[in-house]
Structure 1
């Protein structure tokens, strides 16, 4: 009798708990996209009512974590090869992968006037430390090594490299003065159509492989409405405007 009386209440409670869980999406985000995704998340939560919980790190490290069962439901990578690999290995929702941004590499110094608009400062070799992200796990780090190779400067700067675990750490080495300059994601130093502080050389795209950044829904997000809603929002005009404001292409 008592169970019959309270059954509707129990069902209502369970339904509400399920709804709360479905309204939250766990997203693994490449470090270079930290600022844009924070701005996008604010609009996403306001417009849809869903909540985005983000973790930031290196794409290669996220791959390992995902393979080891990390609870991520959506992956915003700093390349297109890692999501494609996860897709081929059966770890993603088929048909969900797309390029959400094309990144731009920049040589940046926290000092005004230190980096010239042509990157001649690299060839002049008057610096003591050059910061880059780990090229084995961070696509922007790999792009940096490709630039150095193309310019014939790899041997010249080898002993001056300071390697960050990801692009955020590479940026921090420069911003704190531990390196005079470094290769960073343009989005880290760019806002509203200009470099926000310091000085930078926006690296020509032909000096490295395209930094296509793909997003994909992982298997853990297969039945999460918030995951699908976020991917739709990421394709939309509001997210696109934010992405472009941080120096990315679509």
Structure 2
């Protein structure tokens, strides 16, 4: 075999995997953005596929998908929108699955501001309380349910500042524009701000479970590969590290 022919064969072997690589466009709820980025980094270690992540509120992503946004996968912060996409035949049949169960906390960037029972809500010792928009963000709906359980939702209307999503809500509290707010535990996991501030881990009996589901919108080998990875034990370990429960834990 000539050197030139051998060089050609080697070049084809090197290029072939790249030719099979795909670009995935993934819509993800704001609370899961950092976690998904960590998952994508781990996924990339054994995959040639490129993943582009777009984060925002679950409600807005749902509307974008209905209007033709070219996403391949949708990681929502609830069950309702993925189920609706399934019912409307806008997703791949049988692809909907639960990838994480979120946890809600009441947080302040100021140490000692939030007590471990959330009694600060009753005392009203704050000007602004941040929460995500309950119409768009499941974490906002959970926050509304907590306030309703405490009989405070109507009473605190004038003090509520609503973020479009949980990421914006977190920024309201982190910057001090709101003295405290309802955020996702995952946003504080491993954060130095969490260690310096104060929080109340809200009992899950005060709000409906924040079951977060994903659904496949475009049936490609790359999309299937990412879904298979997200369901793996290694991915579940990463998800738990970021402050979520996982389906396998719930079954135990």
Q: Considering the TM-score relative to the shorter chain, is it more than 0.5?
A: yes
* Corresponding residue number in structure 2 for 1:247: 243
Per-residue CA shift, 1:72-103, capped at 9, x if unaligned? 00000000110000000001111111000000
Matching of residues 148-159 of structure 1 within 5 Å: 148-159=147-158
Contact 1:31 1:168 in 2 (8 A): yes
Per-residue CA shift, 1:92-151, capped at 9, x if unaligned? 111111000000001011111211111111111110000000100100001100000001
Matching of residues 149-228 of structure 1 within 5 Å: 149-191=148-190, 195-218=194-217, 221-222=218-219, 224-228=220-224
Moved over 2 A (4+): 15-20, 194-197
Over 3 Å counting, the alpha-carbon distance change for 1:34 and 1:196 in structure 2 is: farther
Is 1:29 the counterpart of 2:28? The answer is yes
Q: Normalising by structure 2, what TM-score?
A: 0.88
Contact 1:191 1:247 in 2 (8 A): no
Q: 1: CA distance between counterparts of 2:31 and 2:74?
A: 13
RMSD: 1.9
Q: Which runs of 5+ in 1 are unaligned?
A: 1-11
3-state DSSP class of the match of 2:46? Answer: helix
Contact 2:103 2:204 in 1 (8 A): yes
Q: Note the C-alpha offset of 1:155.
A: 2.3
3-state DSSP class of the match of 1:233? Answer: helix
Q: 2: CA distance between counterparts of 1:198 and 1:27?
A: 32
Q: 1: CA distance between counterparts of 2:19 and 2:82?
A: 28
* Corresponding residue number in structure 1 for 2:7: none
Matching of residues 40-119 of structure 1 within 5 Å: 40-119=39-118
3-state DSSP class of the match of 1:154? Answer: coil
Is 1:229 the counterpart of 2:225? The answer is yes
3-state DSSP class of the match of 2:106? Answer: strand
* Corresponding residue number in structure 2 for 1:8: none
Over 3 Å counting, the alpha-carbon distance change for 1:24 and 1:197 in structure 2 is: farther
- How many residues are treated as equivalent by the alignment? 232
